[in-house]
Structures are given as C-alpha cells and as structure tokens.
Amino acid sequence: MANILYGVNGEGAGHSTRAKEVLSHLVAQGHTVHVASFDRGLRDLSEHFDVTEIYGFRFAYVNNRVRYKRTIAKNLITMPQAARSLAHLKELVEEWKIDLVITDFEPLTCHVGHRKRLPVISIDNQHCLTNAAVSYPPKYRRDAAAAKLVTRMMTPHADAYLVISFFDAPVRKRNTFLFPPLLRKEILDATPTLGEHVLVYVTSPAPELAKLLSSVRCQFVAYGFGREGSEGNIVYKKPSLDGFFADLTSAKAVVANSGFSLVTEALHLGKPYLAVPVLHQFEQVFNAYWLDKAGYGAYWEELNKERVESFLYNLPHYRDALAQYPRQGNAALLGKLDSLITSLAGP
C-alpha cells in the first residue's frame, strides 16, 4: 500500500467535496493518506482525515467579477507564506515517506512532488479546457487564454490527468483520461422528486436578483441572500447542508451561478439549470456555455424577467434533454486511479 500526499484546493466547496469521495476510497483500499489544504478544504476534511494547513492561492473578486491583476498582486504579496508552506511540505514528505502525490488543482503539493521526483496524479475539471478539444464563446478568448495559463501553472507536468466533465470532448493530451463528474454519495443515493419551487443560490447577497424574482409568478427557495423568512413568492433560508440538499432534490429547477459541483449535482438529479456565471470567472462561463449547448438549461450573463420566464416556460424541453443525461457513478475514475497508483508507486 502507498503513502499518499493529497493536495486539495480550498477555494469553494467543490474541490473538498469530491476529494472526500476519493480519499474515502483510498483509505478503504488500505492506503495511508495525508491531506494538505486551506480554507474550505481544511474545514471540511479535517473531521475525517489527517489534514495539514498550507498556503492557498486565491482569486480576487470585486462586485461579482474576478479581477486578474488584483489576483496576481494579492498572491505576490503573500509569496513568503507560500515559500514557508512549501518548505514545510518538503520536510513532511520525507517524514511520512510519501510514495506518490495526488492533487486537486493544488499547486504546492504538485511542486513538492516534482522536487522530490515523486509521481504526480492530477484530478480536476479545470484541465478539460487545456487537455481536451473544446469550444467556448469567441468573445471570451482573452479570459480563456488567462484561464488556460492559470490551469497550466497550477499543476504542470503530472504523470496523469484524470479530468472530470459533464460532456464528452476529444482528449488531445496522451496522459489525459476523461471521466464523468465525481459526485458525493448523498447525490448518487438520492431519489429526486418534482416539487413546486425553484432553488436559487448565490454566493453573495444579490438584492437586484431578489427584486427580479419577486416579479415572476413562481415559488422560489433562496440561499445566500443573507436573509431568512418568507417574503411574497420567495422563501429565504440560512445556510444548511441538509436543508439545501432537501431543497435541491425536490426542486423543479435551479437558478444559480455555474460552479462545477452544483451544476453537475443538479444535472445528475435531472434539474434544469438557469446559469448566471460570475463575471470574468471563465470556468463558470465555460460550464454555463456547455450546459446551454447540451440543452440542459439556459445561460445568461444578466437576467431579466423575460429570460427567467422563458426558462420556466421551457422546463419540459430541458427535462427531455436531461432524461438522456448519462448518470454514472465514480467507479470508472476510481478504478483508473487504483491502476495508476499500482503502476506508479507499486502495490
């Protein structure tokens, strides 16, 4: 069995959610795993695994937009913290006698793996943009170029890239393997129902969206608005993992930003999705574009009443498309990971 260092990007909940499924599998297989993460990854995984806190590279957001220059400046200022984390990781790799590194879009563990001449396996959705032949709206060419550059810099030269995607795309890198999204067990085991409400989720309070939705003849259950209680046709709820899960599985549709985890969970559950990506967050634009392209929902940079009503009117059309959505578990990716660990680090 292998001693594995597993780096998890801590920005947002998606990386740690899928890492938990992979880590649980690795432990069940008899491997020893040491996790390195920050922020959400540190909080979400510490209860179940041995987690070391490291420096985390973060995007800078202003008014729901990614600011690349500010992102670079912010991370340059904190480079001494990154250097200390890297030095500490190098010591731990020696102490733990690490055989192999797995990284979910986390650069420091990837870098220390290369420095120590260890095999490195990457698991993420971001490399679909760089390692597969995909399209995106031409007007986002500059944002796409920036996203590709960041992706290549985060986890370069891995021995294998296990890329997850909710759509098929031709792979164009020899060490890349495409798989369905990694989903948490709760989603795989869920039995979705068709309720009367539309689930709304935002990452920061959005009073203009609340005003817009109040003018639409539909029942909404809303998270992330910093409010609680009923107001007209909207029920505002405080953050709750169980509550959100129940409202997601029983929703008739979803209106939200287009982070990979929520999109793929909603699609697996057969929920049509109205995507409003964070501006200049190209990963979200990319997800929204392909969701719309597949006919699973709609994508708009800005919403108005007509666009929301059009989405609601077309729910039967989206459900027909989602009936053909390939619902698969995590077995294919985990099986490939097992074989890679055996070949790269030994049985």
268 — alpha (psi -120 to 50), left (phi > 0) or beta?
Answer: alpha
Q: Hey, what are 161's tokens? A: 């890239």
Q: Hey, what are 74's tokens? A: 């912010």
What local confidence, expressed as pLDDT, does residue 82 receive? 77
Using CA atoms, how far apart are residues 4 and 93, in angstroms rounded to an integer? Answer: 9
The structural domains of the chain, ordered by start, are 3-182+330-345 (3.40.50.2000), 186-322 (3.40.50.2000)
Q: Are 179 and 163 in contact (CB under 8 A)?
A: yes
**Residue 220 exposed, middle or buried by CB count within 10 Å (0-12, 13-18, 19+):** buried
Q: Are 293 and 124 in contact (CB under 8 A)?
A: no
Kindly state the helix (H) or strand (E) to which residue 162 belongs, with its residue range.
Answer: strand 160-164
∠ CA(151), CA(16), CA(156), 5° rounding? 25
Neighbours of 101 (CB within 10 A): 30
Amino acid of residue 266: A
- Indicate the Cα dihedral angle 301, 304, 310, 312, nearest 10°: 90
- Bridge partner residues of 111 (DSSP): none
Using CA atoms, how far apart are residues 97 and 100, in angstroms rounded to an integer? Answer: 9
Q: Are 5 and 98 in contact (CB under 8 A)?
A: yes
Backbone angles phi, psi at 174, to 5 degrees: -65, -30
What local confidence, expressed as pLDDT, does residue 63 receive? 47
Q: Is 67 helix (H, G, I), strand (E, B) or coil?
A: coil
pLDDT averaged over 10-residue windows placed end to end, the chain, 347 residues: 96 91 98 96 94 80 53 56 87 96 96 96 97 95 88 93 97 96 96 98 88 97 94 96 96 96 98 91 94 97 96 98 95 98 87
What local confidence, expressed as pLDDT, does residue 203 receive? 82
What local confidence, expressed as pLDDT, does residue 67 receive? 56
pTM: 0.92
- Bridge partner residues of 253 (DSSP): 198
Kindly state the helix (H) or strand (E) to which residue 53 belongs, with its residue range.
Answer: strand 51-53
What local confidence, expressed as pLDDT, does residue 68 receive? 55
In a 13 Å sphere around the CA of 305, the CA atoms on its Cβ side amount to: 7
